[in-house]
């Protein structure tokens, strides 16, 4: 059997979701760490330094291409799985078990993922896209710190960011555990650890992200 | 527990065959004893229907002692009814009270087409077994049972997986209509024993591939299957199936048709 055969079955597709998901999780850690530099409250000196490294380092920029490819694969494969799975039961139940047999977020990964995607389109078009465009067209790096400061003066923008991060948190509660279960690690030995680390991660990381627009909006950082 | 009688309203799915569209029929059932099993209550209703000259409700049943896996019914949205680790035949009417309305539906999955009313075609499971749920043995006299040493814990885990009765409640409960819990139980019970070794490298792929071909959905680790399984088959088996699959993917041959 070829690699293609192995990655084409339902477990193979699930492995694609798991591996790309874990890559996106590690990206979140780096993104969170870099952006948290704003909390030094030094007028953006350390943040700008870190952002400059991330935006110009050859290795990072190469990995960025992989990140975009994995993100796209995660989105396309996720939506394809959702649509296929939905079509496996043409006649639906009149009465559904709902939360009696499974938590709502585990059944709503496609919905939560779509909310995150909509948020990402807005987020990337505000910061990442203009910055890269300016770099490519010779305008140099943009002053991301002051762009953030300006953007997060608007209440509805801050609201959308909070909503996006909450969607991300619920997506992660199931996604973090699910990624490891797919790799076969959901045994009695590791399941408890994976679930607790997953829940902690899904609360802490989105909370740090939420703190950023809120801190600018409340003028906690200059 | 005190014995009592009750009057119930049953909303039951009626469907002539898989070519026709089905719908719910409402039946009043009087004087149901709390000591009856759910299937006995159906027997009473069917006798009543026959005596009125109406067509009885078709439903699957066989052993009526919770081991054959035939009694497939989704009762008020729950596969095999509200009790955990229980089959429909072992569900007793003391789970209900006078005046209750109970909705009964067949297992709903495109891979389990309705044959009639509550009876569905589960031969897809047989074809999954045929694809890899077997072992190679020498013919002739059976060898001494203790000739192959087997670790106690592995024997226990294999036995727990082998307790799957193939009823299909996992498929019925899964929002994706996936058969992963069934496949994982069958793969686990052979993967844990030395007897399962000859086909080990191809079993997981072949059975999962057949599951996909049959039109079952894919697993997204929701866990409703484990919650509804009458035999308490654990999600750990799905983790093991995933390990078996990854193991054969990493180490198997690249020749088409073999693992």
What pairing do the DSSP bridges indicate for beta strands B5-14 and B101-105?
parallel
pLDDT at B87: 97
Inform me whether the C-beta atom of residue B190 falls under 8 Å from chain A C-beta atoms.
Answer: no
Confidence of residue A216 (pLDDT cuts 50, 70, 90): very high
Q: Smallest Cα–Cα separation from B161: which of B190, B132, B135? A: B190
Q: Smallest Cα–Cα separation from B219: which of A74, A164, A13? A: A13
Q: Smallest Cα–Cα separation from B82: which of B233, B188, B230? A: B230
What pairing do the DSSP bridges indicate for beta strands B114-116 and B101-105?
unpaired
Question: Cβ(B91)–Cβ(B81) under 8 Å?
Answer: yes
pLDDT tens sequence across B182-241: 999 999 999 999 999 989 889 999 999 999 999 999 999 999 999 999 999 999 999 999
**Phi, psi dihedrals of residue B138, rounded to the nearest 5°:** -75, 145
Instruction: List CB contacts (< 8 A) between B230 and chain A.
Output: none
Cβ-Cβ contacts under 8 Å for B149 (sequence gap 6 or more) = none
Where is B6: in which H helix or E strand? strand B5-14
Alpha carbons A163 and A169: distance in angstroms, whole number = 10
Question: Cβ(A51)–Cβ(A4) under 8 Å?
Answer: no
Confidence of residue B137 (pLDDT cuts 50, 70, 90): confident
Interface test with A, best of B83, B203, B221 (most A CBs within 10 A): B221
A94 has a pLDDT exceeding 80: yes
Query: What's chain A's average pLDDT?
Result: 96
Alpha carbons A172 and B247: distance in angstroms, whole number = 27
On the CB side of A52, how many CA atoms lie within 13 Å of its CA? 8
Mean pLDDT of A142-152: 95
pLDDT at B144: 87
pTM: 0.94
Confidence of residue B258 (pLDDT cuts 50, 70, 90): low
Residues of chain B with CATH 1.10.1060.10: 122-136+148-251
Does B224 contact A102 at a Cβ distance shorter than 8 Å? yes
Does A174 contact B219 at a Cβ distance shorter than 8 Å? no
Does A174 contact B221 at a Cβ distance shorter than 8 Å? yes
Of B77, B211, B218, the CB nearest to A14: B218
Q: How many helices and strands (H and E) does chain A possess? A: 10, 0
**C-alpha dihedral sign at A58, A61, A65, A71:** positive
pLDDT at B106: 98
Instruction: List CB contacts (< 8 A) between A88 and chain B.
Output: 109-111, 176-178, 215-217
Does A9 contact B205 at a Cβ distance shorter than 8 Å? yes
Instruction: Name the closest residue on chain A to residue B250, using Cα atoms.
Output: A3
Tokens of B97: 């009270």
Q: Does domain B5-115 have CATH number 3.40.1160.10?
A: no
Does B219 contact A102 at a Cβ distance shorter than 8 Å? no
Confidence of residue B15 (pLDDT cuts 50, 70, 90): very high
Instruction: List CB contacts (< 8 A) between A178 and chain B.
Output: 220-221
Q: Smallest Cα–Cα separation from B165: which of B244, B235, B70? A: B70
B253 has a pLDDT exceeding 80: no
pLDDT tens sequence across B23-46: 999 999 999 999 999 999 999 999
Mean pLDDT of A132-159: 95
Q: Which CATH number fits domain A3-86+104-217: 3.30.1490.20, 1.10.3720.10, 3.40.50.620, 1.20.1300.10?
A: 1.20.1300.10
Of B176, B254, B256, the CB nearest to A85: B176
B76 has a pLDDT exceeding 70: yes
pLDDT tens sequence across A150-186: 999 999 999 999 999 999 999 999 999 999 999 999 9
Work out the minimum CA distance from B221 to partner chain A, whole angstroms.
6
Work out the minimum CA distance from A90 to partner chain B, whole angstroms.
6
Tokens of B252: 């198997």
Long-range contacts of A1-9 (CB under 8 A, 24+ apart): A1/B205, A1/B249, A1/B252, A1/B253, A1/B254, A1/B255, A1/B256, A1/B258, A1/B259, A2/B254, A2/B256, A3/B249, A5/B205, A6/B205, A6/B245, A6/B249, A9/B205, A9/B208, A9/B209, A9/B212
pLDDT tens sequence across A59-85: 999 999 999 999 999 999 999 999 999
Query: If interface means Cβ-Cβ distance under 8 Å, which residues of chain A face chain B?
Result: 1-3, 5-6, 9-11, 13-15, 81, 84-98, 100-102, 106-107, 109, 174, 177-178, 181-188, 191
DSSP at B58: P
Interface test with A, best of B218, B233, B241, B243 (most A CBs within 10 A): B218
CA distances from A184 to A177, A179, A195, B92, B183 (A): 11, 9, 14, 38, 15
Residue % of chain A over a pLDDT of 90:
95
Confidence of residue B8 (pLDDT cuts 50, 70, 90): very high
Measured between alpha carbons, how far apart are the two ends of chain B, in Å? 56
CA distances from B125 to A129, B130, B180 (A): 50, 9, 11
CA-CA-CA-CA dihedral for B202, B205, B209, B212, to nearest 10: 150
Question: Cβ(A182)–Cβ(A17) under 8 Å?
Answer: yes
Q: Smallest Cα–Cα separation from B244: which of B172, B195, B189, B169? A: B189
pLDDT at B255: 53
pLDDT at B147: 87
Taking the domain B122-136+148-251, which CATH number applies? 1.10.1060.10
Does B108 contact A93 at a Cβ distance shorter than 8 Å? yes
């Amino acid at each position: 059997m070829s690699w293609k055969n192995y990655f084409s079955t339902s477990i193979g597709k699930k492995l694609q979701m798991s591996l790309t998901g874990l890559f996106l999780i590690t990206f979140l850690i780096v993104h969170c760490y870099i952006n948290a530099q704003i909390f030094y409250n030094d007028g953006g000196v350390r943040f700008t330094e870190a952002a400059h490294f991330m935006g110009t380092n050859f290795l990072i920029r190469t990995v960025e291409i992989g990140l975009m490819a994995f993100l796209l694969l995660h989105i396309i494969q996720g939506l394809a799985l959702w649509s296929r799975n939905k079509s496996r039961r043409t006649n639906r139940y009149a009465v559904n078990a709902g939360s009696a047999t499974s938590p709502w977020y585990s059944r709503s990964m496609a919905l939560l993922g779509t909310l995150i995607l909509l948020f990402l389109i807005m987020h990337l078009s505000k910061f990442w896209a203009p910055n890269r465009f300016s770099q490519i067209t010779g305008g140099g790096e943009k002053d991301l710190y002051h762009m953030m400061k300006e953007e997060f003066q608007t209440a509805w923008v801050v609201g959308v960011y909070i909503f996006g991060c909450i969607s991300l948190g619920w997506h992660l509660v199931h996604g973090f555990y699910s990624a490891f279960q797919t790799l076969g690690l959901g045994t009695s030995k590791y399941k408890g650890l994976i679930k607790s680390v997953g829940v902690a991660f899904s609360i802490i990381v989105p909370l740090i992200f939420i703190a950023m627009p809120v801190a600018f909006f409340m003028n906690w950082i200059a | 527990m005190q014995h009592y009688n009750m009057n119930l309203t049953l909303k039951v799915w009626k469907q002539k065959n898989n070519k026709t569209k089905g719908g719910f029929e409402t039946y009043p059932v009087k004087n149901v004893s709390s000591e009856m099993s759910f299937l006995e209550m159906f027997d009473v209703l069917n006798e009543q229907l026959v005596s009125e000259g109406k067509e009885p409700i078709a439903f699957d049943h066989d052993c009526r002692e919770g081991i054959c896996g035939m009694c497939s019914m989704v009762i008020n949205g729950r596969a095999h009814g509200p009790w955990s680790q229980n089959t429909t035949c072992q569900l007793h009417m003391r789970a209900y009270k006078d005046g209750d309305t109970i909705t009964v539906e067949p297992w709903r999955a495109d891979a389990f087409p309705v044959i009639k009313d509550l009876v569905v075609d589960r031969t897809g499971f047989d074809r999954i077994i045929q694809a890899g749920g077997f072992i190679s043995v020498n013919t002739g006299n059976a060898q001494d049972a203790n000739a192959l040493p087997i670790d106690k814990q592995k024997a226990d885990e294999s036995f727990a997986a082998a307790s799957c009765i193939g009823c299909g409640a996992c498929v019925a409960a899964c929002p994706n209509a996936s058969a992963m819990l069934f496949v994982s139980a069958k793969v686990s019970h052979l993967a844990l024993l030395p007897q399962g070794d000859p086909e080990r490298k191809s079993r997981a792929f072949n059975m999962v591939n057949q599951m996909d071909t049959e039109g079952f959905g894919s697993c997204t680790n929701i866990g409703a299957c484990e919650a509804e399984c009458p035999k308490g088959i654990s999600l750990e088996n799905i983790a093991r199936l995933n390990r078996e699959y990854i193991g054969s993917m990493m180490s198997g041959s690249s020749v088409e048709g073999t693992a």
